[in-house]
């Protein structure tokens, strides 16, 4: 079926004749379901399209355009993409528009091929006006129109990203490229989400691109450069890499995933490289691990506000791990199931796991109406020190796959034992602000008596005070600082600050910007274990940090590596400490909590530290 939706790059006459004969033979041998075309007038031309929507589709649902390749047609991609089936499953409308016929008698989308210098048809105008017409006449949501397409249809997606962004919210080209002429005029366009699926052995649209126009279709950059362009345009700050499950080992290919996330407006740019794949629509030809049409929809689904688009079946998963008590290694996590859909939920199956541990199952039986939540609290779990990810997934709801898969997975990171300090004293350094009499503090055992306390008067303005507190091993303490006016000690009325440090100089906390009070728990460990000893050699400062944070270690001949994670367990960046010190840029991180895992590559000992991005 590949040649039904391929475009041809080789202009050798004999090869072209053989390819067109092959298309004709395949067309004769293939039994396709023929759908009815509808006419649409645009710029004096009668254009055509196929429209499909599931029975009883709710109002204000999304619309997906699916565009055929060069020499292809709307009906063929309707059949091999199976988008009607996915529309039934997930709840959206589909339009299969039809390209016009060029001088050689082939249907095409006018993206500006070098051999089409005299083609003037305005396909961007046709597709945007058709989208607006279908939105209005079928009660579809104008904010949620998307486009995908194969080959020449994928190239039309890129053109829409640059010129039709007011109508199309995201695009997912398959085996497509972007001509350099279009790219050169795309800089002024805002970024929209882009998802490319491309075979590494694509002989029609090679991964390396064709910057010198050797194939005669026009100059175009490599797929990697194209992805980089849209990553930069969307200002995506984090790359998440992975490999998709190779569910069909007989197809000679597998898929590597690159997801660039945290862009403007939460935009993302995805790239699925089908290693060993050709010029194919995965699921119909070549790679059979995924269905390209379904993957496109799952990508589009990320940009739909489910407060506006309410589905019949929309269950959501969330997870929670309460903070452990000082020094505790026992957690009691929970999984929540919420119904955002119209239909009641009567049964649901969920799974959860910690890191790569055994997968556990949760079964729900009952009645969960719209906007109701059921919380499943797990039995207490005892863990050793380290960084963990608690994750959960919704498998089925009411016996089928959920219509909205965007909220079917949840995860959170947490640290056990990472805040323990091997020290005999905790030292407080405090610089008062212009109103010292507003400041006081207490140092106490958790759940016990006050060990020490302090307060100040007017004569103590802008003065530094140092106090030392003796602490016992395997005990827990807390330090609380107060400001009676409720504006902290920095920075509106002076530059006050405070810090707590351990014997070795490790900073437990520093700050000064708070409201009426701020409390810090401090866990004092036992005699240093191997991992504790390693942790005691590591410093991370400043913390909290804004633009960059410094990771340093005591002098050692061993090489150490580091990995930075967010609270969802996603790897954000990694590297190697140079000369026992590394300055890490965090300027593009969002405000929140992050973790750094440091590994001594000689001993394989790892330690985790937490920091705050302000």
pLDDT per residue as tens digits for the range 209-256:
999 999 999 999 999 999 999 999 999 988 888 999 999 999 999 999
The mean per-residue pLDDT over the stretch 181-199 comes to 97
Express each pLDDT in 441-460 by its tens digit: 999 998 778 999 999 999 99
Express each pLDDT in 313-325 by its tens digit: 999 999 999 987 7
User: For residue 9, what pLDDT is reported?
Assistant: 35
Confidence check: pLDDT of 152 > 80:
yes
Place of tokens 């009607």: 84
Provide the H-helix boundaries in 281-331.
292-300
Q: Tokens for 513?
A: 């910007």
At 577, is the pLDDT very low, low, confident or very high (cuts 50, 70, 90)?
A: confident
Confidence check: pLDDT of 263 > 70:
yes
Report if pTM > 0.85. no
DSSP-derived letter for residue 185 is: T
The mean per-residue pLDDT over the stretch 297-320 comes to 89
Confidence check: pLDDT of 10 > 50:
no
What are the structural domains of the chain?
Answer: 2-303 (3.40.50.1820), 315-415 (2.60.40.10), 418-527 (2.60.40), 529-614 (2.60.40.1930)
Express each pLDDT in 336-392 by its tens digit: 999 999 999 999 999 999 998 999 999 999 999 999 999 999 999 999 878 899 999
Confidence check: pLDDT of 478 > 80:
yes
DSSP-derived letter for residue 578 is: B
Higher local confidence (pLDDT), 414 or 9: 414
CA distance 239 to 232: 12
> Are 435 and 494 a contacting pair, CB within 8 Å?
yes
| Residue among 82, 84, 224, 62 nearest 135 (CA) | 62
Confidence check: pLDDT of 607 > 70:
yes
The mean per-residue pLDDT over the stretch 8-22 comes to 36
CB atoms within 10 A of CB 286: 24
> Are 548 and 584 a contacting pair, CB within 8 Å?
yes
Whether the bond into 558 is cis, omega within 30 of 0? no
Q: How much of the chain exceeds pLDDT 70, in percent?
A: 91
DSSP-derived letter for residue 169 is: S
Higher local confidence (pLDDT), 562 or 353: 353
């Amino acid at each position: 079926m590949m040649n039904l939706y391929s475009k041809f790059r080789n202009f050798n006459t004999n090869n072209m004749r053989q390819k067109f004969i092959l298309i004709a033979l395949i067309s004769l041998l293939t039994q396709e379901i023929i759908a009815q075309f509808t006419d649409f007038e645009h710029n004096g031309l009668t254009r055509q399209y196929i429209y499909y929507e599931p029975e009883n589709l709710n109002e204000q649902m999304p619309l997906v355009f699916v565009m055929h390749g060069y020499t292809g047609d709307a009906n063929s991609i309707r059949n091999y993409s199976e988008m009607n089936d996915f529309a039934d499953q997930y709840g959206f409308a589909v339009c299969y528009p039809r390209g016009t016929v060029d001088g050689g008698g082939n249907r095409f989308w006018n993206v500006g091929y070098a051999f089409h210098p005299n083609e003037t048809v305005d396909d961007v105008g046709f597709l945007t006006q058709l989208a607006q017409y279908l939105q209005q006449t079928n009660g579809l949501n104008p904010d949620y129109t998307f486009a995908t397409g194969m080959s020449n249809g994928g190239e039309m997606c890129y053109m829409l990203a640059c010129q039709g962004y007011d109508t199309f919210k995201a695009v997912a080209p398959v085996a497509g490229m972007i001509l350099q002429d279009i790219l050169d005029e795309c800089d002024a366009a805002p970024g929209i989400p882009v998802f490319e699926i491309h075979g590494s052995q694509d002989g029609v649209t090679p991964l390396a691109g064709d910057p010198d126009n050797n194939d005669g279709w026009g100059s175009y950059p490599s797929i990697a450069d194209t992805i980089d362009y849209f990553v930069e345009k969307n200002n995506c700050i984090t790359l998440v890499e992975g490999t998709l499950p190779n569910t069909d080992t007989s197809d000679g290919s597998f898929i590597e995933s690159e997801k660039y996330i945290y862009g403007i407006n939460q935009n993302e740019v995805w790239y699925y490289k089908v290693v060993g794949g050709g010029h194919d629509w995965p699921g119909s030809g070549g790679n059979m691990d995924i269905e390209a049409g379904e993957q496109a929809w799952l990508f589009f689904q990320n940009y739909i506000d489910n407060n506006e688009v309410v589905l019949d079946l929309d269950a959501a998963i969330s997870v929670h791990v309460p903070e452990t008590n000082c020094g505790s290694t026992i957690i009691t996590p929970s999984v929540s199931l919420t119904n955002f859909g119209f239909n009641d939920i009567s049964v649901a199956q969920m799974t959860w796991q910690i890191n790569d541990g055994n997968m556990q199952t949760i079964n729900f039986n009952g009645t969960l109406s719209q906007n109701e939540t059921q919380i499943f609290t797990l039995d207490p779990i005892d863990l050793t020190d380290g960084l963990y990810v608690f994750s959960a997934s919704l498998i089925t709801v009411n016996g089928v796959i959920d219509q909205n898969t965007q909220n079917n997975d949840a995860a959170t990171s947490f640290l056990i034992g990472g805040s323990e300090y091997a020290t005999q004293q905790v030292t407080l350094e405090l610089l008062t602000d212009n109103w010292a009499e507003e400041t006081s503090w207490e140092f106490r055992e958790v759940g016990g008596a006050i060990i020490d306390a302090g307060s100040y008067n007017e004569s103590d303005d802008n003065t530094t005070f140092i106090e030392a507190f003796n602490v016992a091993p395997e005990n827990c303490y807390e330090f609380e600082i107060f400001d009676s006016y409720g504006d902290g000690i920095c920075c509106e009325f002076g530059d006050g600050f405070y810090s707590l440090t351990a014997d070795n100089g490790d900073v437990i906390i520093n700050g000064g910007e708070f409201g009426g009070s701020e409390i810090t728990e401090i866990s004092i460990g036992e005699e240093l274990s191997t991992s504790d000893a390693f942790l005691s050699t590591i410093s991370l400062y400043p913390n909290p940090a804004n633009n960059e944070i410094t990771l340093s270690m005591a002098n050692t001949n061993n090489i150490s590596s580091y990995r930075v994670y967010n609270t969802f367990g996603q790897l954000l960046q990694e590297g190697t400490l140079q000369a026992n010190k590394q300055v890490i840029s965090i300027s593009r991180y969002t405000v929140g909590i992050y973790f750094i895992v440091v590994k001594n590559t000689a001993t394989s000992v790892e330690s985790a530290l937490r920091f705050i991005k302000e």
